Structure formats: structure tokens, C-alpha cells
Chains A and B, each alone.
Chain A
Amino acid sequence: MTAHVLLIEDEPNIAEAIRFILTRDGCRVSTHGGGVDAVAAVHAARPDLLILDLMLPGVSGLDILATLRADPATEALPVLMLTAKGQDRDREAAERAGASRFMSKPFSNAEIIASVRDLVAR
């Protein structure tokens, strides 16, 4: 079965690169630019895995994650959180909010693929 990955990332070039490598790895990837309708996009897409950027314009990835975790439909959804390197406080906050795993920017493509495979297999 092809895993469906939803990517919420406001940087179009990063989103494009991630989409390319995950698609080549056999995933079906949809993207969303973030913003207030991000949660609705998750509900509509019903992905197997969510890749969520922590720093989104106008809305925090943490808030999106907290909303998802509070909803029975998405409370168990695997979420890979993209954080900035060295921002330990962000990481701790994301951990508390219920992120399944973290990926620090700048990440390597191999790391992303390995994490996605691992989270989808669970």
C-alpha cells in the first residue's frame, strides 16, 4: 500500500524537494502551505503521516499539533516535526505537544526518507 504523506511547509522549495524524494521513495505526497486552514487540510487529506514545520507564517506548528492531538480522529497520527537546528526549547515544546519525531533543518534527504519509512511502518 502506498503511504500518503501530507507535508505542511511554507517554504515552496523545501516542500518541492521533500515531495520529490518521498515520491521517488514510493509515497504519495500532498503539500499544504500552512496557515489557519492547516488542521482542516489534515482532516480532508487523512494522511498516514504528517510532516509539519514548526515555524509557519501566522500560525505555530505547535498549535496545529496540539489541535490534532486533542481530536480523536488525529490523536494517533504520526507527526514528523521539522525544527531549526539547535532550538532545544522548540524541540522540548514540540515533544510536550506530542510530536512523534523531529527533524532538524538543514536535514539530509536520507534522514527524511529513513524517518518517514520508520514512522509509516509503525
Chain B
Amino acid sequence: MPMTGLTGSRLRERRLALGLRQADLARAAGVSASYLNLIEHNRRRIGADVLARLAEALGIGAEALSEGAGGALRDDLRAAAAEAEAGAGAAGPELDKTEDFAGRFPGWAGLLAAQHRRLGQLERAVNALNDRMTHDPHLSQALHEVLSAVSSVRSTAAILAETEDIDPVWRARFHGNLHQDSERLAVGAEALVAYLDGSEQAEEQGIAAPQEEVEAWLAVRGWQADLAAAGDLASAAARSMAGAWAERAAAEAAAMPEAAFRAAWGAGGDAAAVARQFGVGVLAVLRRAATLPGSVAGLVICDASGTLLFRKPAEGFALPRFGAACPLWPLYTALGRPGSPVRALVETEGRMPRSYLVQAFCEVEFPQGFAGPELRHAAMLIAPQDGMAAGMAGGMTGGVTGGMTGGAVPVGSTCRICARGACAARREPSILSEGV
């Protein structure tokens, strides 16, 4: 069975780069040259031990050979394929070759993924503009003014031009009306021009959803919210959201100073215990853990509808850019059980599944007291568990694995682009053959 991944190709590239002959590498790794040849052409699966020996002979880590396309890139490509499928093409993209594609042509794959994202942004912008044109009261008011004035001018001017025997009193009256309407026309035209000038700005604002804008803004700042820099954001909505986030982050940083927080977290990385220690809410601790300088932990926050309000990705743990997330995320378990901490080991899908320790918690608020609605906010901290990422975490990945029973919970990103075949929680068929 041919491998779908590109381990063989990477191996071959590496070997050629080192100037090694196939036979030499085969001997060094203790396999036959013909077997290595099959492996290099991706026609044989490689066992973990053979892979390790080959990697050693090539002087690189085994994971560098076996890593497929990055999770986020792969998911973007799948999402782009899903869109293409919706657009009905006879020859759709070769989904089984997604990783081959990303591996062989990383530049093109990146471009495709970036264009797919851009397409989504532009679609939103078009919708926003369309909404604006249809529902904007200023625009329809300005148009109505101009149309009314033009109607009056046209009709009145025609009367003056075509009625030869017009009574001087009427003529004076119509001249007056013309003058009046031309003034109105000037004002209305100015209002329209002002509106159209302003809509360039509106277009930019519509490009990214405010939430995405804020997330991108935080990401380039290492997730350190800076209230003073909120002015950089294009839309007023994003500025206001970023401002609220920054204010809360500052308050939480004050309540949980960095050094003290690191010490407390290092004692077990239990968000509920840390919350108790600082006398703050569990969500505040999860936010602090995810946004502490250098933290590699991801964070998602949702409201009672399950809508993701905040997304900080963790390396390798793909978060859906649009639409609903995987219903198996412990985030949603927590959402359904406010006040109960949920901790679980989860495993992503793919040929190289990665595991993450997640802690999720849901808090309930009554901003208008007994009379008002109950608001829920659930958060899930996603801490990478594999060696490399954990090493980079600077102790912020949370080492608590005790108290958990059973194996890792298999999760995905979102159903449409998830390859898990037999999933009881599936909402819709995947575009990937394994899932259909």
C-alpha cells in the first residue's frame, strides 16, 4: 500500500543533500537497498525502528522525516477544498494528496491557504457592504433626497422650457422652486459623496471579522494586550473588543503577578487550585496561563451558544477559522456543567496525532441580577504534551496528568475537514474520503 505521506520523499531529499548513495544509507540503516528505494518512493510504509535508524544515519530526528503538512496548513487546504466542492467542479482537488502537495510545494500550498483565507475575508466584506447598502438609513435618506430633488428639477425645468404661454406668476414660482431644489440637490450630492468616501474605510473594516482582527493583533504582540496600541486596529468594533480584553488582562496580571503565577502554576498546573490561591475565577487563571509571556498553551473561549469568542492556537491543534468546532472538545463538556472543572488528555487527528492536556471550566454570570439572563462563558486551555512543544513551554504547559482515567479523547477541528471515520459526534460528512 503506498503511503499517503511524504516520509520517503523527505528521506530521499535529505540523503541527496548529504551526497549519500542509496546503497550506503541502506547499509548504514541495516536495510536492503531495494527496500530503501521503495521507501524513498513512498511505496512502503516505514516501521518506527527503521525510521529511527534511517534518521540516525542521516543525522536528523525521526519526526523531521515523518512530520506531515503542518496541522493548520493542512486544515486550511482542506477547508479550501471544501469550498471548491461546494462550488461544484467536475475534477475536485485530490484530497488524498493534500499532504503530498503541502510537502512538495510548501510555497504554493501556503499561497493557496492564504488566498482561501483572503477569499473568506472578501466574502465577508461584500456581505458587510451589501448589508450597508441595503439597510443603511443614511444612504437611503441621501438617495431619497437626491431623487426627489432631481424629480422636481426635471419636471419643473421641462414646464419652463416647454410651456411658451406660461403665466409670469407661475414662471416666477417655478424659478423659485428650481432654485430651491438645486440647493437641495447640492446638499444631497455632497452627502452622497461623503458617504462614498467613507465607505472605503467601511470596506477595510469589513475585511476581517472584529474578533479575527483582535486575535491577529494579539498574536503579533505575543498575546500581550497593549491598551495604548488598540488604536492600530482598523475597525471600531475591534478597537472596543481589544480595549475590553486589554483592560481585563491588565487587571488579571495585577491580581496574578507573573513570578507568583509561574510559581503557583509550577506546583501542579491545576487551574482551579491556582484560582483558589489567588482568589480569582478559574477563567481568569486559564486566560493568564495562556497569555503569560512565552506561553505555548492555546486557549479557546465560548459563550452559551458554543460560539468561539476567542482563539489562541496551540502548535498543531487546529482551531476552526469559521463555523462550529469539534463537539468532542472538553470545552463543551464544561459548558454543559458550569462550575465543574474538566481536565482531559486529548489527541488530534492525523497521521501524527499529538496530545494535549486540556483544562476547561465554565463560569455563569447574571449581569442583570435575578431578573436578567444567565450568561455562560467556558474556556479551555490547550497545553501541548509532546516533548518539543513542552520543552519550549517554559514550564507553562501544566504537567498534571494524574487523576485522569482512560486514554486520550480523540478530537478534531471541525467536522467538514476532519478525517476521523467512525465518529459518533459527526455533524456532517467530511470532505476527506476516510470520513465519507
Complex contact B144–A13 (CB within 8 A): no
With an 8 Å Cβ cutoff, the count of chain A residues facing the other chain is 18
Does A24 have its Cβ within 8 Å of any Cβ on chain B? yes
Does B310 have its Cβ within 8 Å of any Cβ on chain A? no
Contact A85:B155 (CB < 8 A) given known A13-B177, A13-B181: no
Complex contact B155–A17 (CB within 8 A): yes
Q: How many A-B residue pairs have CB under 8 A?
A: 55
Complex contact B147–A109 (CB within 8 A): no
**Alpha-carbon distance A112/B152, docked complex (angstroms):** 13
**Alpha-carbon distance A108/B152, docked complex (angstroms):** 10
Scoring B residues 161 to 178 as 1 if CB is less than 8 Å from chain A, else 0, what string do you get? 011000000100110010
Residues facing B in A79-94 (CB within 8 A) are: 84-85
Instruction: Pick from B150, B170, B177, B180: contact of A105, CB below 8 A.
Output: B150
Complex contact A17–B159 (CB within 8 A): yes
Residues facing A in B123-181 (CB within 8 A) are: 143-144, 147-148, 150-156, 158-159, 162-163, 170, 173-174, 177, 180-181
Complex contact B152–A17 (CB within 8 A): yes
Complex contact B163–A24 (CB within 8 A): yes
Residues facing A in B165-206 (CB within 8 A) are: 170, 173-174, 177, 180-181
Provide the residues of chain B in CB contact with A18, threshold 8 Å. Answer: 155
Complex contact A109–B158 (CB within 8 A): yes
Complex contact B158–A108 (CB within 8 A): yes
Instruction: Pick from A11, A20, A84, A106: contact of B159, CB below 8 A.
Output: A20
Q: How far is the CB of A9 from chain B (nearest CB, A)?
A: 10
Complex contact B177–A106 (CB within 8 A): no
Complex contact B155–A107 (CB within 8 A): yes
Scoring A residues 12 to 54 as 1 if CB is less than 8 Å from chain B, else 0, what string do you get? 0110111011001000000000000000000000000000000
B173 to A, closest residue via Cβ = A16
**Alpha-carbon distance A63/B153, docked complex (angstroms):** 28
B156, B163, B173, B180 pick with most chain A CB within 10 angstroms: B156
Does A97 have its Cβ within 8 Å of any Cβ on chain B? no
Q: Is the interface of A mostly helix, strand, loop or mixed?
A: helix
Q: Is the interface of B mostly helix, strand, loop or mixed?
A: helix
Complex contact A14–B143 (CB within 8 A): no
**Alpha-carbon distance A24/B164, docked complex (angstroms):** 12
Contact A13:B180 (CB < 8 A) given known A105-B147, A106-B147: yes
**Alpha-carbon distance A105/B148, docked complex (angstroms):** 7
Provide the residues of chain A in CB contact with B148, threshold 8 Å. Answer: 11, 14, 105
Does A119 have its Cβ within 8 Å of any Cβ on chain B? no
Does A55 have its Cβ within 8 Å of any Cβ on chain B? yes
Contact A11:B155 (CB < 8 A) given known A84-B143, A84-B144, A85-B147: no
Residues facing A in B307-335 (CB within 8 A) are: none
Q: How far is the CB of B264 from chain A (nearest CB, A)?
A: 61
**Alpha-carbon distance A106/B188, docked complex (angstroms):** 15
Complex contact A14–B159 (CB within 8 A): no
A20, A85, A107 pick with most chain B CB within 10 angstroms: A20
Complex contact A109–B150 (CB within 8 A): no
**Alpha-carbon distance A11/B180, docked complex (angstroms):** 12
Tell me the B residues contacting A by CB distance below 8 Å. 143-144, 147-148, 150-156, 158-159, 162-163, 170, 173-174, 177, 180-181
Which 8 residue pairs are nearest across A and B when measured between Cβ atoms?
A: A17-B155, A106-B151, A105-B151, A13-B152, A13-B177, A106-B150, A106-B154, A14-B152
> Can you pick out 23 interface pairs between chain A and chain B where the beta carbons lie within 8 Å of each other?
A11-B148, A11-B152, A13-B177, A13-B180, A14-B152, A14-B155, A17-B152, A17-B156, A17-B159, A20-B159, A20-B170, A21-B159, A84-B144, A85-B147, A105-B147, A105-B148, A106-B150, A106-B153, A106-B155, A107-B151, A108-B154, A108-B158, A109-B158
